[in-house]
Chain A
């Protein structure tokens, strides 16, 4: 049934996608499990990545994602019609991931550091010249190293903004903080990152 209202794989939040969410939410609220599966397909990638940033382990993140979607299904009744679904969902996902992480060691933070440091090995520079390419690569390497040294909270806020490209509202959901404090947390994290970069340069 969900196939009628759009490609489930599309994760963008343009107006059409939001409209499709509204339809799926309404159907799921009336007990349509297929419609809910459609919502899961549309949002599981961002949900999984938010969970992964918090727990730092793919299998734990998968568990958290699945649990969060089941909880969200039963919470749909309290969901206000017409409100954006994604921030609401991400808050449930992040809460679930944080609860699971309490049972883990510090593995989460270590894994995120590894993700940033090891997997960002080949920045795409597009049409830039070879020289610019080398300079950019060097800068990226420095940013990666500095990110690895940041506190977990700072790294998470930066990852949510620049890696997952979450909106302010979605960041508040994922970080579990009021929307009004997102900007200041992000700017403090950037400031610390910048200081680290400048410190190394000097």
Chain B
């Protein structure tokens, strides 16, 4: 009976007429090449735009904390999607960020349009999370403590599409570093707050939280943020191994 039914189903299947398959190869090819080009094109515009935004914040904020000239600061903080500002008091923040449910790296990759970058120095992450915020999605790779290495969290998002705000108290220092020739920022000292801003620049309060030492850097389309109780050089070495 099973065989008879199954062969009837196979035969029926051969008779089912699906709609004609549309040829999507040309539009797909155009979209994947256009996007690569448009990212390159936009990055040339967005670097100065981001720099202007940061400069404005610093001028209206506490320029006194930055002894260098306005142009130099803008140049120095030109990271995609990141605003850094120094504040006198920190807003209320939750100690931890709710990262939602853990998923596999493969599932995370399917949810974002950019290739997830992995730090060769750390190997495969212990846990992977995906967050809808900011726009374009954020992949979070978590590494449990291992020997001398503390717990680390690596956040990846498309810096050209979002804003990441960081509020620094006067006890927090910011230092420029180089990661494989790309500009990076090393933020350490007192805890600082991290939050994302929406398309209109409004901070999303639920994302506000205290952060430990952080290295921020750019790699291709992505802005990456490595967080944990690391020394600067160790953090830079891990960042440099990320591709």
**B32 interface contact, C-beta 8 A:** yes
Bound-complex Cα distance A161 to B10 (A): 9
Task: Report whether B10 and A162 are in contact in the complex, using a CB–CB cutoff of 8 Å.
Answer: yes
Bound-complex Cα distance A163 to B8 (A): 11
Asked whether A143 and B5 contact (CB < 8 A) given A33-B33, A48-B21, the answer is yes
A34: min CB distance to chain B, Å: 8
**A65 interface contact, C-beta 8 A:** yes
Q: Which residue of B lies closest to A191 (CB)?
A: B2
B13: min CB distance to chain A, Å: 4
Identify which of A15-23, A69-77, A100-108 touches chain B: A69-77
Over the window 228-242 of chain B, the binary record of Cβ atoms lying under 8 Å from chain A Cβ atoms (1 yes, 0 no) is 000000000000000
Task: Report whether A74 and B25 are in contact in the complex, using a CB–CB cutoff of 8 Å.
Answer: no
**A144 interface contact, C-beta 8 A:** yes
Contacts of B17 in A (CB 8 A): 115, 119
A82: min CB distance to chain B, Å: 15
State which residues 75-127 of B face A: CB under 8 Å.
105-106, 109-110, 112-116
Most chain B Cβ neighbours within 10 Å, of A61, A70, A76, A194: A70
Task: Report whether B15 and A78 are in contact in the complex, using a CB–CB cutoff of 8 Å.
Answer: no
Residues of B within 8 A of A (CB-CB), count: 39
State which residues 206-230 of B face A: CB under 8 Å.
none
A98: min CB distance to chain B, Å: 12
Residues of A within 8 A of B (CB-CB), count: 54
Asked whether A165 and B13 contact (CB < 8 A) given A44-B23, A62-B24, A69-B28, the answer is yes
Bound-complex Cα distance A28 to B79 (A): 29
Contacts of A139 in B (CB 8 A): 8
Q: Which of A40, A61, A193 has a CB less than 8 Å from the CB of B29? A: A40
State which residues 79-109 of A face B: CB under 8 Å.
91-92, 95
**A132 interface contact, C-beta 8 A:** no
Task: Report whether A66 and B5 are in contact in the complex, using a CB–CB cutoff of 8 Å.
Answer: no
Task: Report whether A190 and B6 are in contact in the complex, using a CB–CB cutoff of 8 Å.
Answer: yes
**A5 interface contact, C-beta 8 A:** no
Contacts of B24 in A (CB 8 A): 40, 44, 48, 62, 65-66, 69
**A177 interface contact, C-beta 8 A:** no
Asked whether A197 and B5 contact (CB < 8 A) given A74-B112, A74-B113, the answer is yes
Task: Report whether B116 and A77 are in contact in the complex, using a CB–CB cutoff of 8 Å.
Answer: yes
A107: min CB distance to chain B, Å: 14
**A124 interface contact, C-beta 8 A:** yes
Task: Report whether A124 and B29 are in contact in the complex, using a CB–CB cutoff of 8 Å.
Answer: no
Which residues of B approach A to under 8 Å, CB–CB?
A: 1-2, 5-6, 8-19, 21-29, 31-33, 35-36, 105-106, 109-110, 112-116
Cross-chain pairs A/B with CB under 8 angstroms, 12 sampled = A31-B36, A34-B29, A37-B28, A70-B28, A73-B28, A77-B109, A115-B17, A123-B15, A139-B8, A162-B12, A164-B13, A194-B2
